[in-house]
Structure 1
Amino acid sequence: MLQFRRTIFDQNEDAVMWKQDNQPPPLPLQQQGNVLMKQYDKFIPVYLEICPERLYKRLSPNQLVYCTLDKCRLRKFTFYDQVLPHHKYGIALQQRDQQETFLIDSADEFRKWFLLFKRYCVLDKFKQKFKVLNKSKLEDPLFGQCYYNCIHSNNYKLVKIIDKANITNYQLQCLGKEISSLRKLSSPLIIFFNELYEDDTNIYIVYNHYQGLDMRSWLKENSQNLEERLVAQIMFNLLTAISHMHSRGVFHRDIKLDSILIQSQLPSVLLTNFCYSETYIPQTPFKKCGTPGFIAPEIFKTKLYTPKADMFSLGCLFYVLYFGKIPFSGSSQEEILSRNEAAVVDYQIQKQLCRKVSSSGINLLKALLISDPEQRLSAQQALQHHWFIKMGTKQQAKFHKNIIKGKSLSTIIENSVDITHSMQCQIPSSTFIEDKVDKEFTADNLKDRLQKFNSIQLKPSKHRHQYYQ
């Protein structure tokens, strides 16, 4: 029979593969229908429903059991039996020592089921299917330069390759949350997760292929003042991405310049770096998390914060795009955190920098940087702001949407591509640092990041503004 191995993401010792659930499957429900399932030595008809990371089996109209797919390894196989001559397509799931086998009679139905299972389960044989071309310039907040450009069936992919021998429990936990979050999302403005592979040495996370600079690097290389209309287009795209993300119950928790990837040229942007993301459940405490200078003030006060924290971080990024500096600067990390917590924002800087911005733009900026999360705009509310109408952004967004349509799940089962060499990836030591004020905060080297802004020459300002002394 098929050989499986336990996945590194299965840390739970619960030996039960199917669990009881009296609630209806959560939306979005992506596929449902009748298949045959093996029970002892025969196949019986069952009704299955699949949604992100869960497979539901309906035992009766009011009784459901579910299986968590993210802990399952997946295989497909061909099947022939004279008793079932039309059921030629098989899918096998295994969680530890338990296995479920399903048969499907239609090639089209099999493709639909298998492509969803591929996105939610753990796959094998990465090296037989992908050819690694070269290392990407993109960096991961936890694992450094671990991205590689790969090819699979003549399609380019971006793959994060992680050495299992060097991964810490904290990194594994963050990686699991990132994958879980991205499996729920399908926006062309958010990095698209395809599938997850694992072998004895590495974890391979496959994304659509992207190339370009993150926003911080772009600002460093392009010392120019962004036109307000372009800022409006960038903000509209980011709000659209965040609105989709929040509607699926995911919040990012670390929106900043490094988390925005510029595709080809502005305003084509992509939200990335979901390693600190969480699935939001009301009244659930979350650890304090964020990058100093971009943290929502309520995070300093309570662990019961909400996705509105993302909106404050986006407001800080908005401030940078407008004025070329973070709203809460200081000579030390402690000073920056102190000003960040107080959340007193200087909106008069536009006069000092001779920066002309519209009153409606400042109105939206203030609505995002409100200290009270209850009064702060949600992403959906911000998308309706009159600034976007004034800037003509909504009309531009319709045109832009037609150009950057995201790739959905493929409709063709991908062919294997041989790889001629094994791939090993050395993971550097953790790249995040613990803040002295609260060890739950994680951040990059703040001083280095702020110093990179020194190269930005604001125009038509007559003086150079120093971002870090």
Structure 2
Amino acid sequence: MLQFRRTIFDQNEEANMWKQDNQPPPLPLQQQGNVMTKQFDKFIPVYLEICPERLYKRLSSNQFLYCSLAKCRLKKFSFFDQTLPNYKYGITIQQRDQQEIYLIDSADEFRKWFLLFKRYCVLDKFKQKFKVLNKSKIEDPLFGQCYYNCIHSNNYKLVKIINKTTITNYQLQCLCKEISSLRKLNCPLIIFFNELYEDDTNIYIVYNHYQGLDMRSWIKENSQNLEERMVAQIIFNLLTAIAHIHSRGVFHRDIKLDSILIQSQLPSILLTNFCYSETYVAESTYKKCGTPGFIAPEIFKTKLYTPKADLFSLGCLFYVLYYGKIPFNGSSQEEILQKNELAVVDYQIQRKQLCRKVSSSGINLLKALLTVNPEQRLSAQQALQHHWFIKMGTKQEAKYHKNIIKGKSLSTIIENSVDITHSIQYQIPSSSFIEDKVDKEFTSDNLRDKLQKFNSIQLKPSKHRHQYYQ
């Protein structure tokens, strides 16, 4: 038997690896078909279906068993048996002392299955497969500076390396949510999760390697004002990313300037920082969380808020790109929170704006996103149809930029049986800007000076901000 260790992501003591389910596997269903599985001392055929983080066995037309792959360690092996001469490729998954072995007869089919298992399970031997080049300077909301630039088979990767001996239960819970969310997502406008490794000391989360700065750092380093057409392209891309995560049952809960990476140049962006994301279930309650100045007002009043909270946060970011300031400003974090809860927005700012021109149609969309009542607030799909994007020619531009930054989708990868890679690049910011206090509203017309004071709004790593609201 292959040797496995229990993973840190398997925290419960459930006796059985497999659970019964009378409902069919949830979409998106990513791979299905017959393989051979070992039962006692012989191999028998079984029909498997795989979707994000779950593997299903079909017992009958309306009876299934499923296994949580996020708790499983994974290995592959070569196989030869005279009774099964065509089955040369093997996959083993294991939870604690329970193990499943699958045999596949085709190299192409094996690659399709294994690429999916590899994304949803826990892998071994990171140090044998990756070489760590240097520690990056990016600041993680939960773990500080924990990102490393690594290389694997001539491909550069961004790896979050976390020490298991120091991780808290709260950090582990947030990490599990982040990984679970990213495993469900497959959009070139969202940071791409590749795979997860674990050894006795560390957890290694492998992302694609990207080049660029977070949006707040980018604005700080660029003194020119933005054209409204560029703002429209940025917002359109972010709405596209948000529409995708909402369609997969995920909502972000911490959209802000720091959560947006700019790839080489605008409007090519990536949505990141999913450590406070949640899987949305209707009528479920969620803890209050967010960053001061970007929080949807309903979060202050109820725990039954919905993914539309993300649209309000996007509206706050939209406001910054238009006016060069957050819509809710104050001399302290408490004052910002008070104004944020009231959500009274000033659209008549009598001073030089960050955006060169502000059109009435753009203001119309901004107001629709910053609507206090979430039931009246636009969804991401509704906002994508706004006439401002037609006026700005954004949809045509978005198609052009999508072709530039587009990486291989997971479905294309599985169909073509190639390795999981994206063409999007990412460069870690050279420094972080974490201040000790909240300053007053901008007073300088120079964009660089404006951002000097705006930076102080992000005063602590997100875990402290979020604990403040819980």
User: Taking structure 1 as reference, are residues 451 and 162 closer, same or farther at Cα in structure 2, changes over 3 Å only?
Assistant: farther
Matched letter for residue 239 of structure 1: L
Q: Is the 8 A contact 1:53 1:70 kept in 2?
A: yes
Secondary structure, counterpart of 2:67 in structure 1: strand
1:328/1:345 contact within 8 Å kept: yes
**Whole-angstrom distance in 1 between the partners of 2:241 and 2:279:** 16
Aligned to 2:462: none
Q: Which amino acid aligns with 1:133?
A: L
Residue 285 of structure 1: SS of its match in structure 2? coil
Write the distance in 2 (CA, Å) between the matches of 1:325 and 1:287: 27
The gaps in structure 2 that reach 5 residues or longer are: 421-431, 458-470
- Does structure 1 residue 109 correspond to structure 2 residue 112? no
Q: Which residues in structure 2 correspond to 1:173-252 (within 5 Å)? A: 173-252=173-252
- Give 1:356 shift: 3.2
- Aligned residue number for residue 352 of structure 1: 351
Q: CA 1:36–1:256 in structure 2 vs 1: closer, same or farther (change >3 Å)?
A: same
Which position in structure 2 is the counterpart of 1:119?
119
Structure 2 vs 1, CA of residues 274 and 402 (structure 1 numbering), >3 Å: closer, same or farther?
Answer: same
Q: In 2, distance between residues paired with 1:300 and 1:160?
A: 32
SS in 2 for 1:151: strand
Residues in 1 aligned to 2:205 and 2:398: alpha-carbon distance in whole angstroms: 30
Mapped partners of 1:464, 1:93: distance in 2: 50
Q: Which amino acid aligns with 1:115?
A: L
SS, match of residue 166 in structure 1: coil
Shift of 1:353: 2.7
Q: Distance in 1 between matches of 2:241 and 2:289?
A: 21
Q: Measure how far apart 1:446 and its partner are.
A: 6.4
Question: Is the contact made by 2:330 and 2:438 (CA closer than 8 Å) also made in structure 1?
Answer: no
**Structure 2 CA distance, aligned partners of 1:217 and 1:455?**
18
- Deviates most, 374-383 or 444-453: 444-453
Q: Deviations over 1:195-226 (max 9, x none)?
A: 00000000000011112110111111112321
- Most deviating of 143-152 and 179-188: 143-152
Q: How far apart are residue 138 of structure 1 and its match?
A: 2.2
2:285 is equivalent to residue 296 of structure 1: no
Match of 2:423 in 1: none
Q: How many residue pairs were aligned?
A: 438
Partner amino acid, structure 2, of 1:382? A
SS of equivalent to 1:101: strand
2:368 matched residue in structure 1: 367
Aligned match of 2:30: 30
Name which of 447, 450, 457 aligns with 2:446.
457
Mapped to 2, the partners of 1:76 and 1:316 lie a distance apart of 47
State whether structure 2 residue 82 is matched by structure 1 residue 82: yes
Checking the alignment, whether the CA contact within 8 Å between 2:295 and 2:313 is kept in structure 1 is yes
Counterpart of 1:139, as a letter, is E
* Cα 1:401/1:378, change in 2 over 3 Å: same
Question: 2: CA distance between counterparts of 1:153 and 1:133?
Answer: 13
Is the 8 Å Cα contact of residues 122 and 197 (structure 2) preserved in structure 1? Answer: yes
Distance across 1 between alignment mates of 2:109 and 2:196: 22
CA contact (8 A) 1:104 1:110 kept: yes
Are the counterparts in 2 of residues 220 and 456 from structure 1 also a CA contact under 8 Å? no
Q: Distance in 2 between matches of 1:451 and 1:345?
A: 16
The one-letter code of the counterpart of 1:213 is L
Note if contact 1:353-1:458 (Cα within 8 Å) is conserved in structure 2: no
Report the aligned-residue RMSD: 2.3
Where do residues 161-176 of structure 1 align in structure 2 (5 Å cutoff)? 161-176=161-176
Q: TM-score, normalised by structure 1?
A: 0.90
Q: Look up the match of 1:339.
A: 339
Asked if 1 retains the 8 angstrom alpha-carbon contact of 2:331 and 2:438, the reply is: no
Could you say what secondary structure the match of 1:81 adopts? coil
Q: How far apart in 2 are the matches of 1:83 and 1:465? A: 71
Distance 1:39 1:387 in 2: 60
Structure 1 CA distance for aligned equivalents of residues 329 and 183 of structure 2: 36
The 1:266–1:257 alpha-carbon spacing in structure 2 relative to 1, beyond 3 Å, is: same
What do residues 10-53 of structure 1 show as CA deviations (whole Å, max 9, x unaligned)? 00111210001111110000000000010000011000000000
Q: 1:229 to 1:413 in 2, by over 3 A?
A: closer
1:50–1:453 distance in 2 versus 1, CA, 3 Å: farther
SS in 1 for 2:64: strand
Q: Counterpart of 1:352 in 2: which secondary structure?
A: coil
Provide the rounded CA distance (Å) in 1 between the counterparts of 2:451 and 2:269.
28
Query: 1:412 offset after TM fit, Å?
Result: 4.0
Distance 2:215 2:229 in 1: 17
Distance in 1 (CA, whole Å) between partners of 2:451 and 2:299 is 33
The Cα shift of 1:458 comes to: 4.6
Deviation at 1:139, TM superposition (A): 1.9
What is the TM-score of this pair, normalised by structure 2? 0.89
SS at structure 2 position matched to 1:182: helix
- The residue type equivalent to 1:138 in the other structure is I
Distance in 2 between the 1:452 and 1:37 partners?
A: 65
Q: CA distance change for structure 1 residues 449 and 249 in 2, over 3 Å: closer, same or farther?
A: farther
For 1:437, the equivalent position in structure 2 comes to none
Whether the aligned pair in 2 keeps the contact of 1:220 and 1:455 (CA below 8 Å) is no
- Contact 1:89–1:104, Cα closer than 8 Å, also in 2: yes
Q: Which moved more, 1:273-282 or 1:203-212?
A: 203-212
The 1:407/1:206 distance shift into structure 2, 3 A limit, reads farther
- Please say if residues 32 and 50 of structure 1, whose CA atoms lie closer than 8 Å, have aligned partners that are also in contact: yes
Alpha-carbon distance between aligned partners in 2 of 1:237 and 1:191, rounded to the nearest angstrom: 13
Distance change in 2, residues 1:195/1:2 (3 Å): same
Percent identical across equivalent pairs?
82
Where 1:100 maps in the other structure, the secondary structure is strand
Q: C-alpha offsets along residues 276-302 of structure 1, whole Å, 9 cap, x if unaligned?
A: 000000000000000010000000000
The alignment partner of 2:289 has SS state of: coil
Separation of aligned partners in 1, 2:452 and 2:401:
34
Aligned counterparts of 2:48 and 2:104: Cα–Cα separation in 1 = 12
Corresponding residue for residue 15 of structure 1: 15
Tell me which amino acid in the other structure corresponds to 1:52.
Answer: P
Equivalent residue number for residue 466 of structure 2: none
Aligned-partner SS, 2:165:
helix
The equivalent of 1:401 in structure 2 is 402
